[in-house]
Amino acid sequence: MCSIWRTTPREDLRDAVALGAAMVVVGAAFGALAASAHVSLLLTVAMSVFVFAGGSQFLAVAVIAAGGAPLAAVLGGLLLNLRHLPFGLAVGGLVGRSWPARLLGAHLMVDEVIAFARSRTDPARARRAYWLLGALMFVGWNVGTVLGALAGTAVPDPSRFGMDAAFPAALLALLLPALREADAARVALLGAAAALLVTPWVPAGLPVLLALAGLVAAGRAPKECEVVS
């Protein structure tokens, strides 16, 4: 981490610290929601350390609060995280070659980290960005979880403050520069349209996967980029 701090561009450090700080707020919202659902502090913290998947954790707590079975909460979280399968293919080369590095990198693989790293075109810079933001977000999420859980029921409904919209907005901000390219804009528009159309009809998590249909808008790669056999 010391090497990453020294070699990462200042703008990447600034953006990563800002996102990590925002994660504290969202983690606190999760901790408060778990406390209001009477989930124990130990279980709440364990979820944030070993699962580290905000959407799945919010879903699991919501299912438990509604009286659902633990199995339903687990299955719902797995469904929501199916989007990480294509994400893993997209960032596999960034996390390292060794199995320990890949396992740890997979644990830190959340939406914001992927978008942050993939928006850097230089491979070395993208790798540093991935590990830097991944570490900051993991720490921020867990610190926020503990703070929110200790706050208990002081905020009975954290979502009414709009905390759930913070990270979709951050993701959009990260992706906006890439949308200047025509191919990227076509993919994003078709993918967003597909996700919006199916959202009322399919379970949570599937719209993100179905948005991959937007990739057909990219078309074929230019001839000079194709590999000659």
Average pLDDT of 64-85? Answer: 75
Structure confidence at residue 226 as a pLDDT band (50, 70, 90): very low
Structure confidence at residue 132 as a pLDDT band (50, 70, 90): very high
Q: Name the 3-class secondary structure at 47.
A: helix
pLDDT of residue 48: 93
pLDDT of residue 135: 93
Q: How big is the CA angle at 145 (ends 88 and 109), to the nearest 5 degrees?
A: 5
The mean-pLDDT minimum among 38-42, 104-108, 145-149, 200-204 falls in 200-204
149-179 pLDDT, tens digit each:
888 766 556 556 555 555 455 556 656 666 6
Structure confidence at residue 222 as a pLDDT band (50, 70, 90): very low
Tell me the C-alpha distance between 173 and 168, whole Å. Answer: 9
Structure confidence at residue 193 as a pLDDT band (50, 70, 90): confident
Q: Say if residues 19 and 112 touch (Cβ distance below 8 Å).
A: yes
pLDDT of residue 138: 95
Say which residues have a Cβ less than 8 Å from residue 47's Cβ, sequence separation at least 6.
34, 57, 60
What's the helix, strand, coil split of the chain in %, to 5? 80, 0, 20
Average pLDDT of 31-49? Answer: 87
Largest CA distance in the chain: 64
% residues pLDDT > 90 (the chain): 13
Average pLDDT of 136-160? Answer: 80
